[in-house]
Chain A
Amino acid sequence: MEQPVTVAIIEDHPVVTEGVASWIRSDPGQRVLLVQSARDLTALRAGPQPSADVVILDLELSGEMVTAQIPELVAAGYRVVAFSGHNDPAVVMETLDNGAHAYLSKDEGRDHLVEAVLAAAADRPYVTRSQARAMLADQRPARPALSQQERQALLLWFQGMSKASVARRMAISENTVRQYISRARAKYAATGRTAPSKDALLARAIEDGVIKPGEISPYTSFARSAAENPSLGAPGQ
């Protein structure tokens, strides 16, 4: 049997920590092992780092947003899965841009948490519905260009269909649906600020054949790319 993925929870509400721990325990394969739980980031900084493969991070600790601390965690070698009641698309985008592997809203925890942690440990994309929503709503000038198919897969996934239903709707295989969604996520890893976690996600996506190196454009400002390639310039395309 493979070594379980180790995880630390940073959460200021003990009842949530308890709930997350019980979800982890109820995984039939026992694929995740909870090794540390703390109420703030100082406890994590105290010991040798990284103390776990993945950190499940509540974005609001004692009333303060900690999205800006994600780069520090990523630099210390953690993979971050954000778990938050704030499902404002702008917060989701900032979290991903700062190098978090995945974002889960608190409603999505039960069904997705263990899978998101496992995907993060393997540097694979994991796109929750709230993440799909933020990608669909993204109007920032520096957003990556998503293909028609990628957008459609994200939209149907956000709408609440299962991946099998999305596949039937789009008349493609379920695997291709996963590929479209993962590719959209990988494109996000290639934009914005740089972070080792984003590089790792991207490298793994290339290795898995989710995305080809040619499909990743280095970051260019929206204005510049619009000037060079006017046909891609229209927002919402």
Chain B
Amino acid sequence: MSAMQPTATMSGRYQRAFTVAVVFLVAGWHLAGGGGQLLDNRAAYGSFAFQGAMWLVMALAIAAGSVLVLRGAPSWRAAWTVALIALAASTAAAAASPAGQMLAVNWSWGSAGWIGVLVLLRRRFSELAWFLAAEALAILCVQAWDGLDRTDLAGFLALLAWSTGAQVAVAAGVRALDNAAGRAAAAARSENAARERAATAEIIQAARHARWLALQESAVPLIAELAAETADPGDAQVRNRCAVQAARLRRLLAEGDEVPGSLVHELHASADVAERRGVAVEIETAGLLPQVPSLARRVITDAAIAILTGARSQARITLAAVANGIAVSFVADTGAGVRLPAAAAGVAFEQQQDGGMIWAEARWNNR
């Protein structure tokens, strides 16, 4: 989604720029080309006022067509209404022009064709072809009505070739540019996706590296000592260290899991080794628990590992929602007190020893 939007607007921006270029082309042609010819030959027309009115009608058609295409793809009905008004005005202006001088005085041919290009630009190509054919036919009819002057006919054919050719070329060019913009946008999109994949891979790699470092500090020296036989598995303290490291390995694996209630999940993983040792571990929750950040979870699960490693036969872990945070408590028959991790990452500890039972509570405060 986040990668889609910018590239989609990018391709949209190019298309809009092409549309604006065509609007300027058409308006420029009507103003300078059509308008200039009209003013130059104003004495030649039967009624200059009628020609001027038709020029205005076509100018309005250009304005309406521009608004339509700049707002987005116009509907079939709206596009053709504008195109046919322009065609009608152009034909009326041609019909009212003096016969025999058509080539010199008829200003409206070119403009009508360009208006067709403007409004039909992003519709099917055949629609533009039909429109240009209709325009050619209309002018041919006007000439036939005027008695098919040979000079006019020759001029008409030359003009047809020149102006229709230019109009078709512009329409085809815009189409090609649209395609190129779409391809560029797609390329940018896939480049974005590739960049995101690379960033994700980097994060995963960093997390793996952090885990590897954590193991280098803790499990690796122990394994090295065991291999070198400087640590004796018969020694209770060595067995204790092994149990702690095994629980940490399980937790490291659990930290990578994407699950709701990560803390409960990681506590279960931390309890796994103690359970294999035959300690009955209960884990219960009360209330809607807040999300605890990963650093605080690490501190809490470290405490869990310390207590569970010391537990002889039973342990109860509870998680309760309290005002502004969470209270995670441990009750276990450790026999003696347990060294808990130092308060960190917003987690504070309390503990109490009653006979062979320990109670410890980790409170994480979200403020």
Contact B287 A161 (CB under 8 A): no
Residues of B within 8 A of A139 (CB): 287-288
Contact A161 B323 (CB under 8 A): no
Binds A, one of B50-58, B153-161, B236-244, B351-359: B351-359
Binds B, one of A23-31, A64-72, A116-124, A164-172: A164-172
Shortest beta-carbon distance from A151 to chain B in Å: 9
Contact B318 A159 (CB under 8 A): yes
Residue in B closest to A162 when the chains form the complex, CB atoms: B354
Residue in B closest to A87 when the chains form the complex, CB atoms: B284
Whether B331 is near chain A, meaning CB under 8 Å from some CB there, is: yes
Shortest beta-carbon distance from B281 to chain A in Å: 11
Question: B residues 302-338 with Cβ under 8 Å of A?
Answer: 316, 318, 320-323, 327, 329, 331
Known interface pairs A159-B316, A159-B329, A160-B329. Does A137 touch B354 (Cβ–Cβ under 8 Å)?
no
Contact A159 B352 (CB under 8 A): no
Contact of A136 among B320, B329, B359 (CB under 8 A): B320
Contact A169 B322 (CB under 8 A): no
Give the number of residues in B that approach A within 8 Å (Cβ atoms): 19
Whether B223 is near chain A, meaning CB under 8 Å from some CB there, is: no
Residue in B closest to A130 when the chains form the complex, CB atoms: B284
Whether A188 is near chain B, meaning CB under 8 Å from some CB there, is: no
Whether A218 is near chain B, meaning CB under 8 Å from some CB there, is: no
Residue in A closest to B332 when the chains form the complex, CB atoms: A160
Known interface pairs A89-B286, A137-B287, A169-B359. Does A160 touch B352 (Cβ–Cβ under 8 Å)?
no
Known interface pairs A155-B327, A159-B318, A160-B329. Does A165 touch B286 (Cβ–Cβ under 8 Å)?
no
Contact B352 A168 (CB under 8 A): yes
Max count, chain A CB within 10 A of own CB: residue among B284, B322, B329, B361: B284
Known interface pairs A159-B318, A165-B359. Does A137 touch B286 (Cβ–Cβ under 8 Å)?
yes
**Complex alpha-carbon distance, A129 and B241, angstroms:** 34
Whether A78 is near chain B, meaning CB under 8 Å from some CB there, is: no
Residues of A within 8 A of B318 (CB): 158-160
Contact B352 A158 (CB under 8 A): no
Residue in A closest to B354 when the chains form the complex, CB atoms: A165
Contact of A159 among B321, B354, B359 (CB under 8 A): B359
**Complex alpha-carbon distance, A168 and B350, angstroms:** 13
Residue in B closest to A135 when the chains form the complex, CB atoms: B286
Whether A63 is near chain B, meaning CB under 8 Å from some CB there, is: no
Whether A230 is near chain B, meaning CB under 8 Å from some CB there, is: no
Contact A159 B357 (CB under 8 A): no
Whether A178 is near chain B, meaning CB under 8 Å from some CB there, is: no
Known interface pairs A137-B287, A159-B359, A159-B361. Does A168 touch B354 (Cβ–Cβ under 8 Å)?
yes
**Complex alpha-carbon distance, A118 and B153, angstroms:** 118
**Complex alpha-carbon distance, A168 and B320, angstroms:** 21
Residues of B within 8 A of A159 (CB): 316, 318, 320, 327, 329, 331, 359, 361
Contact A133 B286 (CB under 8 A): yes
Shortest beta-carbon distance from A23 to chain B in Å: 19
**Complex alpha-carbon distance, A237 and B323, angstroms:** 8
**Complex alpha-carbon distance, A136 and B320, angstroms:** 8
Contact B323 A236 (CB under 8 A): yes
**Complex alpha-carbon distance, A168 and B287, angstroms:** 25
Shortest beta-carbon distance from B349 to chain A in Å: 14
**Complex alpha-carbon distance, A165 and B329, angstroms:** 14
Residues of A within 8 A of B331 (CB): 159-161
Shortest beta-carbon distance from A149 to chain B in Å: 15
Shortest beta-carbon distance from A196 to chain B in Å: 30
**Complex alpha-carbon distance, A107 and B327, angstroms:** 23
Residue in A closest to B319 when the chains form the complex, CB atoms: A159
**Complex alpha-carbon distance, A169 and B361, angstroms:** 12
Residue in A closest to B322 when the chains form the complex, CB atoms: A155
Contact B359 A161 (CB under 8 A): yes
Residue in B closest to A105 when the chains form the complex, CB atoms: B284
Residue in A closest to B328 when the chains form the complex, CB atoms: A159
**Complex alpha-carbon distance, A136 and B327, angstroms:** 12
**Complex alpha-carbon distance, A1 and B282, angstroms:** 39
Residues of A within 8 A of B357 (CB): 162, 165
Contact A158 B354 (CB under 8 A): no
Contact A164 B354 (CB under 8 A): yes
Question: A residues 135-164 with Cβ under 8 Å of B?
Answer: 136-137, 139, 155-156, 158-162, 164
**Complex alpha-carbon distance, A137 and B321, angstroms:** 8
Residue in A closest to B324 when the chains form the complex, CB atoms: A236
Residues of A within 8 A of B286 (CB): 89, 133, 136-137, 158
Residues of B within 8 A of A89 (CB): 286
**Complex alpha-carbon distance, A133 and B327, angstroms:** 13
Residues of B within 8 A of A237 (CB): 323
**What are 18 A-B pairs with beta-carbon distances under 8 A?**
A89-B286, A129-B284, A133-B284, A136-B286, A137-B288, A137-B321, A139-B288, A155-B320, A155-B327, A156-B359, A159-B361, A160-B359, A161-B354, A162-B357, A165-B359, A168-B352, A169-B359, A236-B321
Which B residues are within 8 Å of any A CB, using their own CB?
282, 284, 286-288, 316, 318, 320-323, 327, 329, 331, 352, 354, 357, 359, 361
Which A residues are within 8 Å of any B CB, using their own CB?
89, 107, 129, 133, 136-137, 139, 155-156, 158-162, 164-165, 168-169, 236-237
The 10 A-B pairs at the shortest CB distance, nearest first, are namely: A160-B331, A160-B316, A159-B329, A137-B287, A133-B286, A165-B354, A136-B286, A137-B286, A159-B318, A161-B359
